[in-house]
């Protein structure tokens, strides 16, 4: 009997010793301090080390109110694709913080279609109108001159009584272009005049300023590389302060030739040496001169029209709509 108990005791003894050792180690172990996350630069500052994660402040975002306002001047005219073009443009602009849209109709009065569109666009918008004189509605003459100048006049009048500084950026956003959201991030830091490439323009896949050592030294273009600023209207932005400090800088009618409006305007406010290349030194295309395909309305009825009046385009019930479109396409 005694021998059996002794043998069982010997079997249990090692396990009892192991339990005692484990308990002794746990009771004597000191709690470890919480590890702070690693710093990004391989060393702390004056405090001698990184803060614990709970004490580190989150990264500060620039308040939206501190962002310079982007002013987009868009000339527009009545045609079958007008509402479709404006809808696509508004869908882009709504995603841009602090953007003010200046929409200028080529008309003697605001149209109902554009007025309703602006009311439901869901973004800050100023709706202007000014007609192009009939003598300038001829093939070969510059287009949208009066509309762009009306946008410039409104912008100067709005800011003439406000105290400086007034951070802002202006660019000319034609309604037949397509814009990447990245473009607005690029142009918002414009100090004077910034430039970038434009896709699908000049008979080429793209045109761009040629940049060396951070400076514009020439132009990659398919048409008249000898222009002072061989650039498309969609390829530059101007600081609001530059616009305000050059009150006479406008788009000219007299002496201006098609394709020269950009140069005629930019010569009044800057030089090639002062241009600020954007879009990775003008190596990325962030805007495209897409142009909507001409609409085929050959089967649009002149009589027995639909009983429901659906707003697709302005004056859609006129039987001479297609001929009107052809005339406008020639003018613009």
Which positions make up the binding site for UDP-alpha-D-glucuronate? 75-77, 106, 143, 148, 174-176, 289-291
| Cβ atoms of residues 198 and 232 within 8 Å | yes
**Residues of the binding site:** 75-77, 106, 143, 148, 174-176, 289-291
> How many Å apart are CA 225 and CA 295, to the nearest integer?
33
Whether 105 is catalytic: no
**Buried/exposed 99-118: b ≥16 CB within 10 Å, e otherwise:** bbbbbbbbbeeebebbeebb
Using alpha carbons, select from 145, 251, 240 the residue that is nearest to residue 193: 240
For the record, the structure tokens of 309 come out as: 């009046």
Helices (H), the chain: 2-28, 82-93, 112-119, 145-159, 181-187, 240-245, 261-266, 279-282, 321-331
Instruction: Determine the 3-state secondary structure of 10 from DSSP.
Output: helix
Which run of H or of E encompasses 198? strand 198-201
Identified catalytic residue from 186, 262, 276, 325: 262
Q: Are 230 and 216 in contact (CB under 8 A)?
A: no
- Beta bridge mates, 218: 210
Task: Identify the sign of the CA torsion 204, 206, 207, 210.
Answer: negative
Residue 260 tokens read as 């020269």
Q: Where in the sequence numbering do the catalytic residues fall?
A: 262
């Amino acid at each position: 009997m005694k021998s059996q108990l002794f043998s069982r005791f010997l079997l249990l003894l090692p396990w009892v010793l192991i339990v005692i050792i484990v308990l002794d180690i746990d009771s004597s172990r000191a709690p470890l301090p919480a590890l702070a996350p690693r710093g990004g630069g391989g060393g702390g500052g004056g405090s001698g080390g990184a803060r614990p994660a709970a004490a580190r402040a989150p990264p500060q975002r620039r308040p939206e109110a501190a962002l310079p306002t982007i002013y987009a001047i868009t000339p527009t005219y009545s045609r079958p694709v007008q509402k479709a073009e404006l809808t696509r443009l508004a869908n882009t602009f709504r995603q841009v913080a602090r953007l003010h849209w200046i929409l200028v109709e080529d008309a003697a009065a605001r149209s109902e279609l554009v007025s309703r569109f602006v009311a439901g666009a869901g973004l800050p918008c100023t709706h202007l109108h000014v007609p192009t004189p009939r003598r300038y509605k001829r093939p070969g003459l510059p287009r949208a001159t009066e509309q762009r100048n009306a946008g410039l006049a409104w912008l100067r009048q709005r800011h003439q009584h406000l105290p400086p500084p007034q951070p802002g950026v202006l660019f000319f956003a034609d309604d037949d272009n397509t814009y990447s959201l990245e473009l607005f991030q690029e142009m918002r830091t414009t100090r004077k005049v910034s430039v970038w490439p434009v896709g699908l323009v000049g008979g080429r896949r793209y045109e761009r300023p040629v940049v060396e050592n951070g400076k514009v030294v020439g132009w990659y273009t398919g048409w008249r590389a000898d222009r002072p600023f061989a650039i498309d209207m969609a390829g530059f932005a101007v600081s609001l302060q530059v616009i305000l400090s050059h009150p006479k800088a406008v788009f000219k009618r007299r002496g201006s030739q098609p394709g020269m409006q950009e140069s005629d305007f930019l010569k009044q406010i800057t030089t090639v040496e002062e241009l600020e290349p954007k879009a990775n030194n003008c190596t990325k295309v962030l805007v495209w001169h897409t142009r909507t395909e001409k609409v085929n309305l050959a089967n649009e009825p002149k009589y027995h029209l639909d009983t429901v009046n659906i707003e697709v385009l302005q004056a859609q019930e006129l039987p001479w709509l297609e001929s009107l479109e052809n005339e406008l396409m020639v003018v613009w």
